[in-house]
Structure 1
Amino acid sequence: MHFLLERVGRDKQLAVEFNSISAFVLNLFGPDAEQGLWQRLRGRSADGTAIGKADAAAHAPKLKQILFSVMGACQPGEVLALMGPSGSGKTTLLSVLGGRKPRAVKLEGAPTFNGKPLSKRAKRQVGFVLQDDLLYESLTVYETLYFAAMLRLPSGMTRAQKAARVADVIQSLGLGRCKDTIIGGFERRGVSGGERKRVSVGHELLINPSVILLDEPTSGLDSTTAMNLVASLCQLAEGGRSVITTIHQPSSRLYQRLDKLLLLSEGHTMYYGAATMAADWFHALGFTMPYGVNVADFILDLASGAVTSAKLDEASARAHLICCAELYAQVRPADDGYREGSRLDADIFGSLWTAAHSRKNLAASPCAPQNGAKVPVDPEAAASDAVRRARAQRLTASVSVTGYVSGPPARWGASYAQQFAILFTRSIKVRRFEALSYQEVLQLGIVAILGGLLWWQQGLSDTVFSANSTNGLIFFNLLFMAFRAIFVALFTFPNEQKMMIKERASGMYRLSAFYFARTASDLPMELSLPAGYILITYFMGGLRRDAGAFFANLLGTMLVTLVAQSLGLLIGATVMDAKLAQTVAAVLALTMMLVGGFYLANIPAWIAWLKYLSFVYFGYNLLLKAEYHGRTLFDCSGQNPPHAWAQPSCSAVPPGGLQEKLHLQVNTEEWPWEALALLGFLALFRICIYFALRRNTVLR
């Protein structure tokens, strides 16, 4: 696979170093934590006596350490693999290196890039490929990379130059055959798993990053596809990039392509150095790899504690190997770790064995020689460490001179207006299969025809009896549109949360630009089918044949639909849990329906204030005014005769009298101020949605 991407210039190369990284999470489910939580809730201990703050604090949740002084480095041109069994801390370490540490993780130590902490500018030169391919299923491969390029590439590049970069990435990753195929997902077939992974890698290659971090990129791929992907990563590293990846259960051929290896076991370093020297390292420590066994399988068995020796059981063997690795890092502090030409002197090996053999608990203090013995430091290692640090200082100095760190590159790849336009177009294309799907058309069409048949021409009669039936059609249309909008919008942001966090962490756009573009795309995507629904039911139901009344009904229903959708988006953006959001939405929707004015005209005074919190109340009253404002109806004593105006038994209802005759909560002759109330609901909900998104998608 030939790469057309240019090399990373000397002035943009980044050396990643991490020294003594420790990570902690809050242990909420330990026995002490559960006991302390229960006691704080009850305010009493198990024997019934009252407890104080000090006693409750003694059983407070403790911090659980998940990374233990992990150290290593990746120079430009290298591929560093993080390996270990599940739960060993690979993903946590990778997220720390990429500046995407979860908020629940507390950290000691920090990685450096050319000897400096990770800044926002440097972070834009770091590509991060997640284990789960977060891609929009309805976009094609080309559209996915094109929109990313328009948003992420520097603003100084022209649109043609950005499109050329997209073409280079597609050709480099061998995606030419599927560039016009949608990504696809569970319900809609698209590209293959290997192609999806390459699209995710290409998403990060667009910016020509100096550092590429990948979380298990080969998971779920066959051996040949995984091998091709790793070969691509090696070629990217040869272009002056630092590549760090977690790999789970690699094949022997794939393992041989790796430059350096960091083997983790329950958060501890078990081996760090050249990948090809791992078997020699463990052989020197008394664990010889059986003939014909894959090196990767062997070292993963060691990290899992599944290998014993003649003198040590599984737990002791793992503790021994961890201590040896940690003490070796003290003895030979060079960042390159164990490599060809390294040796374990007899004195060093003896110190390692003595310390490891005496250690019984991995959570105890760091390995150290016992009985006050000193660990001899290898002078050659110290000299090589000094050479390495001098090299890093020269690299940092050269970068400062060229202005990579100190220069002021544009923060965003596109202007605010360009971000809005690009995101608006993308939002339309992302939802093209959903908003206008045949299922939606079929659903609304069937319900519209059914409603039109049930209320067939009920509104043509001018009697109070017929108006009561017409009110049912108006209220049904309002509720159907509102409830549909709420429960469709409910899952929007919970489903897109991970995507927003990923894209915001990459610095693709301002959140406000994304939000306004998403809001603007609602108008054509969410209102086209409801408009068709109203068009069918309005004329089949025989509602008022007046152009002003028709457009007032249509616009009023659209306004209520937007308010309902905003409520659904707000619930989804606030709760971010689908099941809980459904419960909250159902309770709120039913409450608003009950106080909307159709089922109850005289609500008890002590709870009547609820109707002013219901957009259904204002929407229903607005549609009633559109239907009856300035219209004369006839009271025929519960009858519905034809031509009521000519019947002597029918009397005209005076202006303003419909409120009493139809048991309404509003005078239909008043000015339609409810529209302003609905606009206020719409503005309030949309503002709250923005701040809810800002809180739940904060950069981590």
Structure 2
Amino acid sequence: MPTPSEAPTIVAENPSHNFPFIMSSYPITLKFVDVSYRVKLESNGSKGGSLKRMFSVGPTSSDLENSMAQIRERSILSGITGMVSPGEILAILGPSGSGKSTLLNALAGRINGHAFTGTILANNKKFSKPVLKRTGFVTQDDILYPHLTVRETLVFCARLRLPASLTTKEKTAVADAVIAELGLMKCENTIIGNTFIRGVSGGERKRVSIAHEMLINPSLLILDEPTSGLDSTAAHRLVSTLGSLAQKGKTVVTSVHQPSSRVFQMFSSVLVLSEGRCLYFGKANEAMSYFESVGFSPSFPMNPADFLLDLANGVCQVDGVSERERPNVKQTLISSYNTLLAPKVKDALCLETTTSAPKEAILSINGATHNNPPCNNNGGGFSSFLNQLTILLQRGLKERRHETFNSLRVFQVVAAALLAGAMWWHSDYLDVQDRLGLLFFISIFWGVFPSFNAAFAFSQDRAVFLKERASGMYNLPSYFLARVAGDLPMELILPTLFLSILYWMSGLKPDILAFLETLMIVLGYVVVSQGLGLALGAIIMDAKQASTVVTVTMLAFVLTGGFYVHKVPSFLGWIKYISTTFYSYKLLVFVQYGDGNGISSLLKCSSSLRHGSCKFVEQDIQAQIHPATSVAILLIMFFGYRLIAYLALRRFNKA
């Protein structure tokens, strides 16, 4: 069996050796003592049943208060203790819901508040910002942009995360070194992909997520189920990669759901959890002998990890033949651990002194050393606002161009333009009612289309945004401006194509100036409608709910836009004054027919209808609001909707 140092995927040395301009690594010994975490329950279903049982036996007031407290809160972690040193891999095992991810989040410094208790130490010192900034955290889900290649993903990340004192060329060199270190050279020009887009394999995608954190050359690397979804061979290669990183002096902590026997043997130590409580902590190769000493052993040779997970689920051998789930197994193992093993673990932690960590490492935690300046992942020491904005703009344009100009979307716009052009083919200038219908159709199409698409913008980016903000890659203003500004040029190309086809096919006012004015109105209407979608999407932050609200809002705007209904009830009349469709429609009509004076003599209406439908056509044409006022209101909406979206994101960012 190959050792971690023999892993075939590792083909380069530590990037800090090849490129001394990035942060040097120093050893961190991680200790955690009596870590506990409780959360409040949201469901009331169990509460009612529990209270009913309590009242049936007539509890005292103190019993009722205690039971209510237990109902309102649930213990996720209870007194977890352990440690891991540089060069080691600590594996956290346990069934789903045992508290593995919560413990990893606590060790990464991402959980705080009154619900969290316990002590977490780095080199016998409490966690500080320099330590947290040298901590890499790889989440369980691979949160990456699907249309970027592996190299593009890591180069953009390096440009955002590495110090501003480095040149772009140096940051790119760091990304290339990490690509080589993690064995990603064969797929560096392949897109990441997702469920619907074919890209790199699952193992390669996971290594890209690890490479995200390796760019800062972390001393402590924490991974949440990195082998989830991988086959046995891919999982072994990935853990071999982690083993190689650990041998270079890094401290690695990872949760693993169901490792193979080959993978299990690569772990230095193991922590087994069951329902938030510890069943075992110690060396991986001593786990089986410990459980045998307390009366639990398999009846036939099996994968140690499978056996430990069976015990964590309360499943054990009965009479050496069958397997049954016994509730008392977990309690027996928890009691055995608290009695036999926990005191030894705490004694071992107490025996550790600050001399166990190099002097330079301890100094680096509390402040800078001469050779090791403190890392700064976020803040003024790294990318400036303008630099962040530029990089995010470049990344956004590369990522979203595929979504904006995908074949189905282009076909939708072109097909709508051709169909409408055929319906209004060379319409007569005097067929006013038909032309008003065309202008209103344009208002409807370019009101609903961009607002509906924009409603998904922030909810789709939510996972990436939270991950990258937690890593300190950029601040909210730079992200927001890059997201909004990056969408503008792409969102304006399709409306230009649409109008270029429809305008001349339908025979609207054959004047280049009138065409340009109509185009400017449509483009302005598009960006205002997009702002409406961004605002509603940011406020709701749920794609399905936001799309529903946008649909209802645009329906109200269309109905009060001035074409379908002229005598709007007074209690609904106010809607048209906040309707983007109303102002854009009036501007489009103004370009074609001016203020409508003298248009009555041109209307092709019979005398019998002079006081009927023609009256409403005249009302449509005659300006009820000055064009300059319409333009001013649309400008206010353009900035107002985006301001609302930013404030909503700011609130979400603080939540």
Pick aligned residue for 1:332 from 344, 350, 353: 344
Pick aligned residue for 1:323 from 311, 335, 342: 335
Opposite residue 600 of structure 1, the aligned amino acid is V
Q: Decide whether the 8 Å contact of 1:217 with 1:247 is kept in 2.
A: yes
Call closer, same or farther: CA 1:7–1:271 in 2, change over 3 Å: farther
Opposite residue 411 of structure 1, the aligned amino acid is N
Separation in structure 2 between the aligned mates of residue 243 and residue 130 of structure 1, nearest angstrom:
14
Any idea what SS the aligned residue of 1:468 has?
A: helix
Do structure 1's residue 286 and structure 2's residue 295 form an aligned pair? yes
Call closer, same or farther: CA 1:333–1:123 in 2, change over 3 Å: same
Q: Who is 2:644 aligned against?
A: 688
Deviations along 1:83-109, one digit per CA (max 9) or x if unpaired, are 011111101111121233499x93222
What does 1:140-539 correspond to in 2, within 5 Å? 140-307=149-316, 314-328=326-340, 330-334=342-346, 381=347, 385-388=350-353, 390-391=355-356, 397-399=362-364, 403=368, 407=374, 409=376, 411-412=378-379, 413-458=382-427, 460-461=428-429, 463=430, 466-539=431-504
Separation in structure 1 between the aligned mates of residue 198 and residue 593 of structure 2, nearest angstrom:
51
Give the structure-2-normalised TM-score.
0.87
Opposite residue 436 of structure 1, the aligned amino acid is F
Task: Point out where structure 1 has 5 or more consecutive residues left out of the alignment.
Answer: 39-44, 47-53, 335-380, 642-648, 650-657
Q: Who is 1:546 aligned against?
A: 511
Call closer, same or farther: CA 1:396–1:306 in 2, change over 3 Å: same
Any idea what SS the aligned residue of 1:296 has?
A: helix
Pick aligned residue for 1:109 from 118, 132, 136: 118
Deviations along 1:13-46, one digit per CA (max 9) or x if unpaired, are 33222111111122222545357999xxxxxx99
Q: Which moved more, 1:300-309 or 1:415-424?
A: 300-309
Any idea what SS the aligned residue of 1:327 has?
A: helix
Q: Who is 2:579 aligned against?
A: 614
Q: Who is 1:97 aligned against?
A: 107
Q: Decide whether the 8 Å contact of 1:25 with 1:106 is kept in 2.
A: yes
Q: What number of residue pairs does the alignment pair up?
A: 618
Deviation at 1:179, TM superposition (A): 0.9
Separation in structure 2 between the aligned mates of residue 385 and residue 60 of structure 1, nearest angstrom:
33
Pick aligned residue for 1:126 from 112, 135, 156: 135
Deviation at 1:187, TM superposition (A): 2.0
Separation in structure 2 between the aligned mates of residue 395 and residue 328 of structure 1, nearest angstrom:
36
User: Which structure has the bigger radius of gyration?
Assistant: 1
Any idea what SS the aligned residue of 2:171 has?
A: helix
Aligned-pair identity (%): 37
Q: Who is 1:51 aligned against?
A: none
Separation in structure 2 between the aligned mates of residue 500 and residue 393 of structure 1, nearest angstrom:
37
Deviation at 1:248, TM superposition (A): 1.2
Do structure 1's residue 88 and structure 2's residue 98 form an aligned pair? yes
Q: Decide whether the 8 Å contact of 1:32 with 1:60 is kept in 2.
A: no
Separation in structure 2 between the aligned mates of residue 36 and residue 530 of structure 1, nearest angstrom:
60
Deviation at 1:288, TM superposition (A): 2.3
Separation in structure 1 between the aligned mates of residue 485 and residue 585 of structure 2, nearest angstrom:
25
Call closer, same or farther: CA 1:473–1:633 in 2, change over 3 Å: farther
Any idea what SS the aligned residue of 2:28 has?
A: coil
Deviation at 1:669, TM superposition (A): 8.6
Separation in structure 2 between the aligned mates of residue 61 and residue 317 of structure 1, nearest angstrom:
25
Any idea what SS the aligned residue of 2:142 has?
A: coil
Opposite residue 133 of structure 1, the aligned amino acid is D
Task: Point out where structure 2 has 5 or more consecutive residues left out of the alignment.
Answer: 1-9, 18-22, 57-63, 608-613
Q: Who is 2:80 aligned against?
A: 70
Call closer, same or farther: CA 1:556–1:37 in 2, change over 3 Å: farther
Do structure 1's residue 592 and structure 2's residue 557 form an aligned pair? yes
What does 1:622-637 correspond to in 2, within 5 Å? 622-629=587-594, 634-636=599-601
Pick aligned residue for 1:25 from 32, 39, 59: 39
Call closer, same or farther: CA 1:577–1:36 in 2, change over 3 Å: farther
Opposite residue 494 of structure 1, the aligned amino acid is S
Deviation at 1:134, TM superposition (A): 0.7
Separation in structure 1 between the aligned mates of residue 259 and residue 616 of structure 2, nearest angstrom:
79
Separation in structure 2 between the aligned mates of residue 202 and residue 75 of structure 1, nearest angstrom:
22
Any idea what SS the aligned residue of 2:90 has?
A: strand
Q: Decide whether the 8 Å contact of 1:152 with 1:508 is kept in 2.
A: yes
RMSD of aligned Cα (Å): 3.1
Opposite residue 394 of structure 2, the aligned amino acid is T
Separation in structure 1 between the aligned mates of residue 587 and residue 126 of structure 2, nearest angstrom:
59
Call closer, same or farther: CA 1:129–1:409 in 2, change over 3 Å: closer
Do structure 1's residue 663 and structure 2's residue 632 form an aligned pair? no
Call closer, same or farther: CA 1:533–1:227 in 2, change over 3 Å: same
Deviation at 1:684, TM superposition (A): 1.2
Q: Decide whether the 8 Å contact of 2:40 with 2:74 is kept in 1.
A: yes
Deviation at 1:601, TM superposition (A): 1.8
Opposite residue 21 of structure 1, the aligned amino acid is V
Q: Who is 1:374 aligned against?
A: none
Separation in structure 1 between the aligned mates of residue 590 and residue 630 of structure 2, nearest angstrom:
10
Call closer, same or farther: CA 1:163–1:546 in 2, change over 3 Å: same
Opposite residue 641 of structure 2, the aligned amino acid is F
Call closer, same or farther: CA 1:469–1:668 in 2, change over 3 Å: farther
Call closer, same or farther: CA 1:453–1:640 in 2, change over 3 Å: farther
Q: Who is 2:535 aligned against?
A: 570
Separation in structure 2 between the aligned mates of residue 523 and residue 264 of structure 1, nearest angstrom:
50
Deviation at 1:172, TM superposition (A): 1.4
Call closer, same or farther: CA 1:245–1:397 in 2, change over 3 Å: closer
Separation in structure 2 between the aligned mates of residue 623 and residue 61 of structure 1, nearest angstrom:
62
Any idea what SS the aligned residue of 1:111 has?
A: strand
Which has the higher relative contact order, 1 or 2, with Cα contacts under 8 A spaced 6 or more apart?
A: 2
Deviations along 1:107-135, one digit per CA (max 9) or x if unpaired, are 22252333444444432211111111111
Deviation at 1:306, TM superposition (A): 0.2
Separation in structure 1 between the aligned mates of residue 516 and residue 49 of structure 2, nearest angstrom:
63
Q: Who is 1:338 aligned against?
A: none
Call closer, same or farther: CA 1:667–1:34 in 2, change over 3 Å: farther
Call closer, same or farther: CA 1:683–1:115 in 2, change over 3 Å: farther
Q: Which moved more, 1:422-431 or 1:118-127?
A: 118-127
Any idea what SS the aligned residue of 1:420 has?
A: helix
Deviation at 1:391, TM superposition (A): 2.7
Call closer, same or farther: CA 1:606–1:409 in 2, change over 3 Å: closer
Separation in structure 2 between the aligned mates of residue 681 and residue 273 of structure 1, nearest angstrom:
62
Give the structure-1-normalised TM-score.
0.82
Separation in structure 1 between the aligned mates of residue 584 and residue 50 of structure 2, nearest angstrom:
50
